[in-house]
């Protein structure tokens, strides 16, 4: 399960829902937080209730939803003031540009801002908006103001927006939001663990302008790094060529070639508790790199030489090692062979020709094979969910070893 075995029993959370299309995803956040034991109190703006009905939240959380600033409770107390005093955390999702502006300026004219203003509880803000609105200097200044006052911001990601355009501004997925909420309440299950993750494809230079590369996007490795960080691990990310942005807050080192990545892994892995090797490392590189651009002429033959097999080169280290096997045929037997040959604890096998599992896709259908002979076939999941499943297994191995 994404989020591991986090327990929010006894935690009181105010979930502020503002008016954006992402409000429908926050229904899932309310459900998950409630399932983890939290007492979730939803406050909605008028425009939020045009996207999702308050009854949906009320049914899931079993708590009355605050929709009216002027509401009094049975003891004639002002509901929002009392609620603000009692909650341990205020989570605002989706936080629209307008809501963020009101929060930053102390305006109290809707059930969310009026409660937040009256509350000493920490704020976790989950923005969601059009990418132009997110990039606007006014929004950025407002976010900065809130951050300076101690608010935590779960930054939006790049993706498809309500307008149909692609850009920064898309709200993080419910599982990421739940993890961020859990993180507010204490160390995650991987706190104190050092995890090294590799991502993306290596590029092996032919001459100053050309290289041999592959189609890896880096999405899977980045998802593992983000998920491990969310669970409290001290993460180092080594990345080759990637087509998605790095997350702020994760230590990252660019290792463009297989040799760069090998040297970095050998340097860092000895101090780590686990390595997740999601990078697509070239098996061959040009035997020599031309110092000048190679000119067009007759047919050209490139001589290739093997690169270091990074996982095999650290087989003697005691850390938990997770490899990937991206195959186009005989998936499981090839993966089992790699697991044994590279002395891994786990290998994540995926058929890159299967629908929804190719390079650059946001989803992946994998089977996780263990050194102990275990085989866990997962359904088609988002890469974030796959990352969560892999880390669940890594956590189990840590537990077994300690
Ligand atoms: N890997 C590595 N060093 C390399 C090549 C691959 O550490 N030089 C790692 C990958 O990051 C992955 C695992 O080994 O975790 C399997 O990679 P893959 O390319 O599938 O395996 P290869 O050993 O290269 O085998 P083949 O190309 O024959 O399938």
* pLDDT tens digits along 100-112: 999 999 999 999 9
Q: How far is the CA of 96 from the centre of ligand 1 (A)?
A: 44
Mean pLDDT to the nearest integer, 78-99: 90
The torsion region of residue 131 among left (phi > 0), alpha (psi -120 to 50) and beta comes to: alpha
Whether pLDDT at 18 is above 90: yes
- The closest-lying atom of ligand 1 relative to the alpha carbon of residue 281 is 5
Q: How far is the CA of 324 from the centre of ligand 1 (A)?
A: 7
Whether pLDDT at 75 is above 70: no
Mean pLDDT to the nearest integer, 292-312: 95
Domain boundary among 183, 207, 235: 183
Does the residue 390 lie in any domain?
yes
- The closest-lying atom of ligand 1 relative to the alpha carbon of residue 324 is 15
Does the residue 189 lie in any domain?
no
Q: Kindly state whether residues 379 and 264 are assigned to the same domain.
A: yes
Q: Which of 179, 24, 101 is nearest to 112 (CA)?
A: 101
Q: Kindly state whether residues 167 and 207 are assigned to the same domain.
A: no
What gap in Å lies between CA 356 and CA 393, rounded to an integer? 23
Q: Which of 6, 48, 26, 152 is nearest to 93 (CA)?
A: 26
- The closest-lying atom of ligand 1 relative to the alpha carbon of residue 198 is 11
Domain boundary among 183, 218, 233: 183
212, 279, 306, 311: residue to mutate for ligand 1 pocket, most atoms within 8 A of CB: 311
Whether pLDDT at 255 is above 80: yes
Does the residue 289 lie in any domain?
yes
Mean pLDDT to the nearest integer, 100-127: 95
Structure tokens at 68: 């009216």
Q: How far is the CA of 216 from the centre of ligand 1 (A)?
A: 13
Q: Judge whether 326 and 350 are in contact, CB under 8 Å.
A: yes
**In the chain, how many domains are there?**
2
Q: Which of 63, 136, 214, 350 is catalytic?
A: 214
Q: Kindly state whether residues 382 and 249 are assigned to the same domain.
A: yes
Assign 328 a pLDDT band (cuts: 50, 70, 90): confident
Query: For position 144, what pLDDT does the model report?
Result: 93
Q: Tell me which residues have their CB closer than 6 angstroms to ligand 1.
A: 258, 277, 279, 281, 283, 307, 309-311, 323-326, 338, 342
Domain boundary among 183, 210, 238: 183
Taking CA atoms only, the protein residue closest to ligand 1 atom 5 is: 281
* Total number of residues shown for the chain: 402
Q: Kindly state whether residues 19 and 44 are assigned to the same domain.
A: yes
Q: Kindly state whether residues 24 and 92 are assigned to the same domain.
A: yes
**CA dihedral sign of residues 224, 230, 233, 236:** positive
Taking CA atoms only, the protein residue closest to ligand 1 atom 20 is: 325
Q: Kindly state whether residues 118 and 176 are assigned to the same domain.
A: yes
What gap in Å lies between CA 194 and CA 192, rounded to an integer? 7
Task: Domain of residue 378: give its range.
Answer: 194-401
Q: Kindly state whether residues 241 and 210 are assigned to the same domain.
A: yes
Q: Kindly state whether residues 246 and 305 are assigned to the same domain.
A: yes
- The closest-lying atom of ligand 1 relative to the alpha carbon of residue 322 is 15
- Residue owning tokens 């590189």: 285
325, 345, 351, 369: residue to mutate for ligand 1 pocket, most atoms within 8 A of CB: 325
* CATH of residue 108: 3.40.50.1950
Whether pLDDT at 299 is above 50: yes
Mean pLDDT to the nearest integer, 197-205: 98
Q: How far is the CA of 330 from the centre of ligand 1 (A)?
A: 15
Q: How far is the CA of 316 from the centre of ligand 1 (A)?
A: 17
Going across the sheet that includes 251-254, the strands are 251-254, 234-239, 194-199, 274-277, 320-327, 346-351, 366-370, 375-377
Q: Kindly state whether residues 159 and 271 are assigned to the same domain.
A: no
Q: Kindly state whether residues 230 and 170 are assigned to the same domain.
A: no
Q: How far is the CA of 327 from the centre of ligand 1 (A)?
A: 10
Does the residue 188 lie in any domain?
no
Residue 98 designated active-site: no
Q: Judge whether 54 and 80 are in contact, CB under 8 Å.
A: no
Average pLDDT, rounded, for the chain = 92
Structure pTM? Answer: 0.65
């Amino acid at each position: 399960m994404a989020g591991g075995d986090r327990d929010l029993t006894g935690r009181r959370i105010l979930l502020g829902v503002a008016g954006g299309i992402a409000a429908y995803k926050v229904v899932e956040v309310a459900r998950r937080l409630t399932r983890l034991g939290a007492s979730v109190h939803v406050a909605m703006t008028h425009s939020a209730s045009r996207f999702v009905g308050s009854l949906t939240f009320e049914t899931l959380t079993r708590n009355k939803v605050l929709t009216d600033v002027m509401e009094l409770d049975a003891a004639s107390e002002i509901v929002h003031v009392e609620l603000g005093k009692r909650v341990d955390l205020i989570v605002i999702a989706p936080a629209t540009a307008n809501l963020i502006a009101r929060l930053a300026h102390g305006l109290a004219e809707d059930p969310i801002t009026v409660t937040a203003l009256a509350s000493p509880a920490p704020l976790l803000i989950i923005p969601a908006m059009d990418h132009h609105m997110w990039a606007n200097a006014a929004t950025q200044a407002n976010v900065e103001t809130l951050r300076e006052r101690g608010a935590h911001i779960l930054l939006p990601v790049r993706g498809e927006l309500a307008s149909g355009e692609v850009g920064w501004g898309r709200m993080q997925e419910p599982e990421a939001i739940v993890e961020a909420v859990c993180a507010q309440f204490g160390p995650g299950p991987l706190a104190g663990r050092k995890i090294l993750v590799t991502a993306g494809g290596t590029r092996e230079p032919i001459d100053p302008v050309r290289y041999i590369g592959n189609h890896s996007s880096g999405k899977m490795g980045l998802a593992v790094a983000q998920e491990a960080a969310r669970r409290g691990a001290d993460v180092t990310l080594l990345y080759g060529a990637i087509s998605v942005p790095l997350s702020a807050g994760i230590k990252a080192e660019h290792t463009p070639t297989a040799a760069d990545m090998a040297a970095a892994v050998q340097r860092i892995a000895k101090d780590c508790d686990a390595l997740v090797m999601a990078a697509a490392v070239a098996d061959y590189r040009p035997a020599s790199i031309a110092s000048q651009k190679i000119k067009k002429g007759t047919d050209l033959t490139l001589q290739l030489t093997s690169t270091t097999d990074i996982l095999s080169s650290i087989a003697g280290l005691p850390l938990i090692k997770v490899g990937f096997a991206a195959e186009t045929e005989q998936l499981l037997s090839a993966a089992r062979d790699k697991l044994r040959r590279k002395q891994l604890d786990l290998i994540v096998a995926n058929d890159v020709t299967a629908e929804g599992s190719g390079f650059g896709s946001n989803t992946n259908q994998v089977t996780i094979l263990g050194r102990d002979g275990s085989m866990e076939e997962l359904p088609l999941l988002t890469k974030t969910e796959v990352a969560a499943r892999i880390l669940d297994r890594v956590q189990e191995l840590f537990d077994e070893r300690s």
